[in-house]
Chains A and B, each alone.
Chain A
């Protein structure tokens, strides 16, 4: 049996969970309180399951189940990212015993603050995928003929790149970033889905790209084959909303659940761009 984090004498019989709810995109948000019976070894996901099962607020009113996203339940997919007691993290790895130890009052759950809320704790992180498109976060190997084996990757390089490849696009780095502002647009009545999508992408492209995409640009720039397109990624990193917006608060690296050296990637991108700009300016 796993040792409990809280000694038996201090265990509460129940605890309160405050959830910031929102019924639909653009709707006002509101707080709801839920009283949950304590059990050892709960995590925030199992608390949310209990809330869904009860569907009753702490003052006894019937309510709709709180909506949330989750998938892997082992902190590798990033789907269940939300603000737990004000800090961004995965709710699957947020253990209730630890949270109550830090704050016996209860637990506060909010959706991520920098992404459009779809419902309750579910947010739309498509901006992150747009930034991966922007920096061409892939290795282009498509072609008609066999181009033979690619360049070899050294062990040393592999060890630098592997941690960067662990990024699960959860968005913790962006939510904690003081330079990353929320971009939320709403579809107009006279606008087709495609038009709206284009308008959204234009807005996303103007706004800060953030640590995750900068780090991915370094991951693919360091790849022996990906290196062949390094300049295109650097061009994207120096476009409006690019690396230059970074303010070096370094929250990204502090909150990253995968301990990715994001600030190292940011500084390396800065160095690559310094040389790239020299080359671009003096070689033309």
Chain B
């Protein structure tokens, strides 16, 4: 801090912090809401969830571009700047145990949890990168890349059978939900939307209700998905997914894609392997 000229981060601190604030809601927060709602559609039926996944994948070769522009780059930006912000803080809830101060600390704790959880989650479901060698030699032996978009509910359900994973997901999802709900509240102060203490209290009530509702959606999605991964439900899910896949192949809407279907690699449970054989 002493004599060096201010760093790039310092010189553009205002703009970067405002972009950090904005990116938390648009697109990262908005994406998370859509993501949890789509996942929760599995509670309706695995077919509904599969239909939604096909809809997302109907973007075809545009999907990676959309994902990088609206999801990965904003999340990486929000996460990296977020870590810088966390490093600059000196939490002091011990001496000043006020509610807003606790939320300040929690916002940072949940942010860090979200950072690691999202990294684990993207590895666990997607394997980070799609290069074959990487997937075969590194990701699958470590139990990653479990999600197969053309066998959506069953593959996600199978991936969530492990208790440790369920606990990680539960903590991760709740941390993300708190971080978004509280982040919307602080964002309103940062941009000057709610100003008076009364207005801020009303806003925090609205954010709390939003957070609780989103938490219900998120936890519902998690356990709904998990339920599709075992017993009768798994067999039913596999059946309907096969039917939908075959139908799309027949109509020419899809070309066969064993990758997205999750065929032809090890690491599937015996149960899935059996269903695969039946096809």
* Interface residue ranges, A against B (CB under 8 Å): 86-87, 176, 178-181, 183, 185, 199, 202-203, 206-207, 238-251, 253-255, 261, 263-264, 266-274, 277
Contact = CB atoms under 8 A, between A and B. Distances in A.
B96 A176 contact: yes
B110 interface: no
Given A87-B95, A178-B90, A240-B13, A248 B192 contact: no
Given A183-B1, A244-B17, A255 B6 contact: no
A272 B190 CA distance: 11
A273 B192 CA distance: 8
A241 B13 contact: yes
B189 A263 contact: yes
B192 A251 contact: no
B101 A250 contact: yes
Nearest to A242: B14
Contacts of B107: 247
B191 A266 contact: no
Interface string B187-210: 001111111110010000000000
Contact of B13 (A176, A245, A254): A245
Contacts of A269: 192
A264 B196 contact: yes
Interface of B: 1-3, 6, 10-11, 13-14, 17-18, 85, 88-92, 94-96, 98, 100-101, 103-105, 107, 185-186, 189-197, 200
Contacts of A246: 190
Contact of A248 (B2, B92, B190, B193): B190
Contacts of B92: 176, 178, 251
Contacts of A241: 10, 13
Given A185-B2, A242-B14, A245-B13, A178 B192 contact: no
13 contacts: A86-B95, A176-B95, A178-B89, A179-B90, A180-B90, A206-B6, A241-B10, A244-B190, A261-B197, A263-B200, A264-B195, A264-B196, A268-B192
A274 to B, nearest CB: 5
Contact of B96 (A87, A199, A248, A273): A87
A251 B197 contact: no
Contacts of B103: 249
B188 to A, nearest CB: 8
A206 B1 contact: yes
B28 to A, nearest CB: 18
A247 B48 CA distance: 41
A270 B190 contact: yes
Nearest to B186: A248
B88 A179 contact: yes
A221 to B, nearest CB: 13
B11 A244 contact: no
A239 B14 CA distance: 7
B189 A238 contact: no
A251 B98 contact: yes
B104 A247 contact: yes
Contact of B191 (A183, A240, A270): A270
Given A247-B104, A248-B100, A268 B195 contact: yes
B186 A272 contact: no
A268 B190 CA distance: 9
Nearest to A249: B104
Contacts of A248: 100, 104, 185-186, 189-190
A255 B96 contact: yes
A263 B197 contact: yes
B6 A251 contact: no
Nearest to B18: A244
A267 B200 contact: yes
A178 B109 CA distance: 14
B7 to A, nearest CB: 9
A76 B222 CA distance: 56
B11 A181 contact: no
Nearest to A239: B14
A279 B259 CA distance: 51
Contacts of A202: 3
B203 to A, nearest CB: 10
Given A207-B1, A241-B10, 7 more contacts: A202-B3, A203-B1, A240-B11, A241-B13, A244-B18, A244-B190, A267-B194
Contacts of B3: 199, 202
B192 A179 contact: no
A242 B190 CA distance: 12
Contacts of B85: 247
Given A240-B6, A240-B13, A274 B1 contact: no
B2 A203 contact: yes
Contacts of A274: 191-192
B194 to A, nearest CB: 7
Which of the listed residues B103, B105, B189 has the most CB atoms from chain A within 10 Å of its own CB?
B189
B13 A242 contact: yes
A268 B17 CA distance: 17
A185 B200 CA distance: 38
Which of B10, B101, B194, B196 has the most chain A CB within a 10 Å cutoff? Answer: B101
Chain A CB count within 10 A is highest, among B11, B88, B96, B189, for: B96
